[in-house]
Amino acid sequence: MPLVCSRLRLNDLPPPLSGHTGWPWTEDSGGSSLEILADTQMARYPRISIITPSYNQGEFIEATIRSVLLQGYPNLEYIIMDGGSTDQTVELIKRYEPWIAAWVSAGDRGQSHAINQGLARASGDILAYLNSDDYYLPGALLQVAEYHQQFPNADLLHGRCRYVDAAGTRVIEQFGQISSLDEIVNLWEVWWAQRQFVQPEVFWTRSIMQRVGRFREQLHYGMDYDYWCRILAAGGTVGRLDAAIACFRLTPQQKSSQRGAVAAELLTIVQPLLWPDSPLRTAQLPGRKRWQLQGKWLYQAIFLEQVARSLSRGDRPLCRWVKSVAVLLQHPKILLVPAFQRRVKQAVSRLLGFRLGT
């Protein structure tokens, strides 16, 4: 049987090594309604399995671990999959080993592989992964469980997420607004327009995982985005919990800071969802909406890429125009994209201004 934590309190854990104060160092989630529940009531709460993939995040992982264990949640299964860290990570994990259901420190094939290894061990009704530089806020798991009990048909559940700096100081708070496949695949007006999910705020059910499978290990940046897309493509429903439940730590080293590479991978994820020959058969996307999104994809992934290549090669303006027209003839849907239309108007204005000036 997997180890399940039950109502851990601050004094149950070893003192933190960091010297920090506040949550989750010298404070726990005391004061929650869990304290007044009888054991018979506790048994009704669904099991929540949290997986932490980790690699050389010894600076932050203790906060991550404590934020999970100090939830005081009665039916918690916590799993850590470390990729063979060479810093103090393993030492910190061992300090909390009595309360961890399973942990491994060995080489792996990357973050997605580590998450999948954890999912293979997990037994929870509700699942999530929490990276080793992020952390939960007090009472997060209880709120997730209570929402799940109230809305059991929600396959993907998310709350509010706080962006914090390396020291844990709040920067901004994000509350995603996505409920359908056509919204989540709209990178331009939804995902990149501050309506996106932020990974540590997201939970999903075992039943939806059994339908969509596990994470795609070939993805390096957008494995979470791909997973949320697959859930909605499979007809999954979204639950929106209006409470701050997690913190996403902004650090210069994190993969998500590599915006160009992240955007390129998200475009590859979206492409098969926008064209009818997708294995997922995009019947859930209305025809007009799909055409609009295809145009936006073609504009960014094909047209702008062609322009960038032409500029990098030092092509003359006439040559660039010829190449651009060739792309438009091949992909006329680009003509309907507002960003392209604005680009044309600006180019014409510059040309007329130049001629009038002469």
Q: Which of 165, 133, 138, 18 is nearest to 68 (CA)?
A: 138
- Whether the predicted pLDDT of 80 surpasses 60: yes
pLDDT at residue 285, rounded to an integer: 76
Q: What is the pLDDT of residues 255-268, one digit of tens each?
A: 666 788 999 999 99
**Cα–Cα distance for residue pair 34/277, rounded to 1 Å:** 50
CA contacts within 13 A on the Cβ side of 338: 4
Q: What is the pLDDT of residues 155-178, one digit of tens each?
A: 999 999 999 999 899 999 999 999
- Whether the predicted pLDDT of 331 surpasses 50: yes
- Whether the predicted pLDDT of 208 surpasses 80: yes
Instruction: Classify each residue of 296-312 as buried b or exposed e, where b means 16 or more C-beta atoms within 10 Å of its C-beta.
Output: bbbbbbebbeebeebee
Q: Name which of 38-42, 69-73, 190-194, 228-232 the model is least confident about.
A: 38-42
Name beta bridge partners: 104.
81
Average pLDDT, the chain: 90
CA contacts within 13 A on the Cβ side of 225: 25
**Cα–Cα distance for residue pair 52/115, rounded to 1 Å:** 7
Which span out of 29-38, 45-54, 287-296 was modeled with the highest average pLDDT?
45-54
Q: What is the pLDDT of residues 273-314, one digit of tens each?
A: 998 665 555 446 777 889 999 999 999 999 999 999 999 999
Q: Which residues contact 73 (CB under 8 A, 6 or more apart)?
A: 5, 7, 34, 45, 48, 141, 142, 145
pTM of the full structure: 0.90
**Cα–Cα distance for residue pair 250/65, rounded to 1 Å:** 18
- Whether the predicted pLDDT of 32 surpasses 60: no
Distance of CA 172 to the CA centre of its chain: 17
Residue 85 tokens, joined: 């860290």
Q: What is the mean pLDDT of residues 13-30?
A: 86
Pairing of strands 135-136, 238-249: antiparallel
Where do the domains of the chain lie, and which CATH numbers do they carry?
A: 10-257 (3.90.550.10), 286-357 (no CATH)
Q: What is the pLDDT of residues 184-200, one digit of tens each?
A: 999 999 999 999 999 99
